[in-house]
Structure 1
């Protein structure tokens, strides 16, 4: 049976997820080695280009206008400031630059035109450019693609069954519709979730099932650990255990062997040894830089030291496309 499958069943995924930890990591690591360069990690930088004041009620998010979290509302950044930040990220080793705006959905207005201009600018720097702007229509996704967008992030967050416990201002199907619009535009998909939202292990398995049974696996799957923020409904949730992160990463790697599995939010609370175990389990992407939108993240210097210690190297931008062109030329 092929390792690359889109017909996983829930019982199959549960059997993988429930494996003894060391056996699970061994199996995930073996597949990771088969399909990827295990010394290579995609380094991404995420910038909040429009912060706070969001009309959504995502129970984990400090940018929701209805919660008092101390996050100041900031208007859409200027293009030159965004490009300056992107250049600094590139100089520090990032090859993918993601711009996030605290919007419920994209609107066809001057702000969107400005974002399209930013996408063009970052693309011209030679970086893979990603956006996370909320819900998109097919037309808006195509406009982003035409501007040079490489990836669009739109996380499922949790299972369909648990979704309404976390967000009521949109539906799980709204999420899937945006992802479908992104695919139609030929933009790569970045889609994962968050653990620590009060979900069950079954919810985690169901979320992975949704991702792994898409017609095409997401090119990037971020696995986030909730960072509880005072003032949000989940502000008192307990910290996610590192082994829960390892289990999620390893299961995702087995289900989607070629996908970039990103060790995302929550990394700031992990030791180098704990992060190393996540890389061994199949993680091959991180966010670098001292902020993830509004929450703390390890700085570039700390990550560079970790990479040197573990023998890791940043993945080059547009690697898949360059390999394809090289193979075409050789043929």
Structure 2
């Protein structure tokens, strides 16, 4: 963990494209070196993601099976009781997770009893000694403040894709709405988790544009999830081709080089990745994976915890 250089926030699109387009082995070698300068290369953070309120969302995100307007097999579930959520959090900690994220399929947070319940959940998970994260949709400055006071460590609000491609994927909110929520999270002193999805039909330039937005923020997000599209039957993107593994590796490596201090999280889509393919992503700088109970990540298939622990053992990696 030596040879650190000062973080950059003045990247150009040409800079990042040049990195992304390097010969693959050279790119991974460079990213691996930077990863080792800033992080312990044999450590992976295990994070657990729980859907505390599922389905019925009014948004039209083309990839999401929780949108009410699409005909999927996902069952709508009201907000879980606090006791149920805390039981899941305790089990996650026993399984080796150090971060617990609660997701609600809302367009935005409303100041009502449900949000009051989320506040109590955050307090409870925080007392367990876990990094507590939420992803609840758009958030006002005051709501972010309440979450911070309750002990929230991180807030996830993905950009999903570039500003230029965004309207082809979502029409019910603007790209700037996402930036505003991230700014509100920052003002409250909560760490930021924000990344994107590969395989939406976007171009290479769109992927780089999304990374550019993150890498040139005044403070880099502490976490950047790199997701492969989980093709949910009944959504407009159900027939998209599987995200190419080398595109995933290039995204992980480019994110690692541009944002050395950030946790790069290998997130959705791992079910379609082999163990060697995931190993390439770890070599390129990914240092976190998400687990979900019942072998799901929110509402899509995900490797089970025992399978993940075996993979980490096979690769000589240990939990952070």
Contact 1:51/1:72, CA 8 A, preserved across alignment? yes
Q: What are the within-5 Å matches in structure 2 for residues 80-91 of structure 1?
A: 80-91=83-94
> Are 2:316 and 1:311 aligned?
yes
Partner of 2:210: 207
Give 1:294's aligned residue.
299
User: Retained in 2: the 8 A contact 1:3–1:257?
Assistant: no
CA drift of 1:2 comes to 3.8
Corresponding residue for 1:256? 259
d(CA) in 2 for partners of 1:267, 1:234: 18
- Structure 1 residues 74, 220: CA separation in 2 closer, same or farther (over 3 Å shift)? same
Q: Say what the alpha-carbon RMSD is for the aligned residues.
A: 0.9
| Counterpart among 172, 178, 188 of residue 175 in structure 2 | 172
Cα deviation for residue 50 of structure 1 reads 0.2
Alignment equivalent of 2:125, drawn from 118, 122, 126? 122
* Normalised TM-score (structure 1): 0.94
Shift, 1:311, TM fit:
1.3
Within 5 Å, which residues of 2 pair with 1:139-218? 139-218=142-221
What is the TM-score normalised by the length of structure 2?
0.97
CA contact (8 A) 1:46 1:291 kept: no
Distance in 1 between the 2:5 and 2:130 partners?
33
Q: Distance in 2 between matches of 1:65 and 1:274?
A: 34
TM alignment of 1:29-48, pairs within 5 A:
29-48=32-51
2:55 alignment partner in structure 1:
52
Give CA-to-partner distance per residue, 1:120-147, whole Å, 9 cap, x none: 0000111000000000000000000000
State the 4+ residue runs in structure 1 displaced beyond 6 angstroms.
none
Inter-partner Cα distance in structure 2 for 1:235 and 1:75: 26
**Counterpart Cα distance in 2 of 1:99 and 1:282:** 25
Partners in 1 of 2:72 and 2:241 — Cα distance? Answer: 18
Query: Counterpart in 2 of 1:323?
Result: none
Q: 1:308, CA displacement in angstroms?
A: 1.0
Q: 2:280 aligns with which of 277, 286, 289?
A: 277
Q: Displacement of 1:314 after TM fit?
A: 1.2
Partner of residue 222, structure 1: 225
Return the alpha-carbon distance in structure 2 between the equivalents of residues 238 and 269 of structure 1. Answer: 12
Which of 107, 110, 113 is matched with 2:110 structurally?
Answer: 107
Unaligned runs of 5+ in 1: 316-331
Q: Is the 8 A contact 1:162 1:203 kept in 2?
A: yes
Q: Distance in 2 between matches of 1:151 and 1:19?
A: 33
Q: Does 1:241 align with 2:244?
A: yes
| CA distance in 1: counterparts of 2:277 and 2:200, whole angstroms | 21
- Consecutive unaligned residues of structure 2, counting only runs of 5 or more, are none
**In the alignment, which residue of structure 2 is the partner of 1:325?**
none
- Counterparts of 2:93 and 2:248, CA distance in 1: 28
